[in-house]
Amino acid sequence: MSKKDTFPPTGFQQLYSENEIQPDISVSDLCENCLEEKKEVASKFFCLSCKMSFCEECNKTAHTLSVLKKHQRIKIKKGTLEKEEGSLERFCYKHNKNLRVFCFNCEQLICTNCAFSNHEDHEIKTIDIASKQYKLKNLDAVPQTLKRKEDFVTKVQQEKEMITQKLDQRLKDLDEKRDLLIKKIEQVVHNLKETITDEEMKKLKLLFEQEQKEKRNVGLLKTAEKNLSRLQSAQRRKDHLEILGYSVLFNHASDISVKSKKETLAAVSGPQKKLSIATQIESLMKMDFVTPFDISKCKIGINSKFGSIGDMMTITLTISNTNYQPSDYVPALIQCHVTEQKNNSEMVVTNFVRKQDFQGIFMCTFKPKAVSKYNVTKIVIDGEIILVNEINFEITAYSNCWNPNKKGERIALSNGNRSARFIGGSGRGKDRQIEGVQIMTSGVHTFRLKIDKLSGCMELGVKPPLKKGWVYKVGWTFCLDCAEKHSLGASYRFGKKCKTGDVITMIIDMDKHTLSYKLNDINLGVSSKNISKEVVIAVGIWGINNQISFL
């Protein structure tokens, strides 16, 4: 469809007669009526008849009379007139000028600026002359074309609905097949488990019990071996008391060894069915394990009583039994139970690592995710529990860092939560912003932040901590890329444009309820004088990989 078909060609003479041609429009960012009363309120409407900018309140009060209600008013957005959808254009929204001439080449109403910049070689005439010369074309074809388009849209909607119904049915069939397969698999697993006889389970349990008994007796055998020289010395000295005592010890150790060997051979003798690895693991988890060292002599420690979000906490387990050698036995499973006091929730950390440089020392490292107090309640070594309780630590938040619990889905944190970066992608406004951790209610607070990358919009300021919504709409911000300040959604000129590498200083005076900024230590002044009684730092980030960091 050409421009001739889309642009209404009639009515130029009535709409744009010489008497109606108005001077170029000057739109003010502030309500001109409020300025007379020395108040700064953002303008929302421009009256074509009054040739003035009004805020929403003044727009109503100034046009209460019936004769004034007919004045045409246009909405203002960011200092320019906002085009109304479906209305015939009267102004050039690019230059804020009246449309005074008509371009026959482009079949378009334009302003004088457009005529000299983009239509130099075109046939251009004033609108009163053009309205007489312009000829209507294919006027009768409009209703027919409209009907064809409406029929096509109806057909597309019917086709879409039919495809949607088929797709829903296919998805439903797939879900039913999935549920059926899961049910069959669960039945097969259940049948396999039932094939294991009670006799096989008893033999398997006996094997594990005997293995643990052998490990438990290792300590006694090693003690007897170490006392062999003392027995020989007693025999040379003919000290019958020592000879008898050490002989009983050696005979007892020998009897235990022989008995254990016979029990083991008896347990494994005879025909047995081969068990699957999964079955053996399941049986292993049900056994009671016994460690070959004295649990009561184990020591638990922690690297620090205090930490911050992002810090690595380390818990150490030291086996201090004098008879224990690390080469003798390595625990199969060590679990550390840590309880968060705030929510009374427990987490189990199992990433204990044996430290080869020290005998009998195991280490567990992890990062707490919440600001709270924690207790290491117990350590479980191969099923045996060591009660700890007295080991505790506290995780606090840096005042100069971003809160991981208050970040949008498209924001990534690094550098100990001091750096916030927009990773890109589509999403709602809240997915692009993040809050700090410190809630301010009194005193003067100063923060220094570095713009690591700025290639789009970035709004830095404060907001009420419980208020939801865009930070520049519910709070008070400084738009770093366009030198504007925003106060609860209203925008005004402020400061200077920032760039990558600049350092921003925020001074938040909660006693005076003011917000001030510095750019590279140059004072930009007070941006807001009416911030709420309780605020938190917040930033909204646009532009992929744009990043800002606390210093």
The DSSP annotation for 58-96 comes to HHHHTT-SHHHHTS-EEEEETTEEPPPTTSPP-EETTTT
Residue of 142, 123, 122, 118 whose CA lies nearest to 133: 123
Residue 158 in any domain: the answer is no
Report residues of the chain scoring pLDDT below 50.
Answer: 1-23, 86-87, 261-278, 280-292, 321-324, 326-328, 355-358
Looking at the domain assignment, is residue 487 inside a domain? yes
Question: 295: helix, coil or strand?
Answer: helix
| Any domain includes 138 | no
Same domain, 248 and 334: no
Residues 538 and 344: their CA atoms lie apart, in Å, by 29
Predicted confidence at residue 232, as pLDDT, reads 74
pLDDT for 269: 45
Tens-place pLDDT, residues 460-504: 999 998 888 888 888 999 999 888 998 888 889 999 999 999 999
Tell me if 230 sits within 8 A of 236, measured CB to CB: no
Residue 163 maps to a domain = no
Q: With contact defined as beta carbons under 8 Å apart, do 44 and 54 qualify?
A: yes
436 in the same domain as 381: no
CB atoms within 10 A of CB 149: 11
CB 397 within 8 A of CB 342: no
Domain that holds residue 245: 198-286
* 1 three-class SS: coil
Question: Quick one: 50 exposed, middle or buried, by C-beta within 10 A (0-12, 13-18, 19+)?
Answer: middle
| Residue 143 is assigned to a structural domain of this protein | no
224 and 324 part of one domain: no
Shared domain check, 530 and 439: yes
Residue 396, pLDDT score: 63
The total number of structural domains that make up the chain: 4
Q: Residue 239: what pLDDT?
A: 66
Residues 232 and 340 in one domain: no
Please tell me the predicted confidence (pLDDT) of residue 464: 92
State whether 450 and 332 are in the same domain: no
- Is residue 242 domain-shared with residue 376, that is, in the same domain? no
For residue 510, give the nearest of 439, 420, 425, 424 by alpha carbon.
439
CATH number at residue 429: 2.60.120.920
Considering only CA atoms, which of 442, 329, 434, 321 is closest in space to residue 386? Answer: 321
Q: How many CA atoms lie within 13 A of 182 on its CB side?
A: 6
pLDDT of 10? 37
Cβ atoms within 10 Å, residue 99: 21
462 plus 437 within the same structural domain: yes
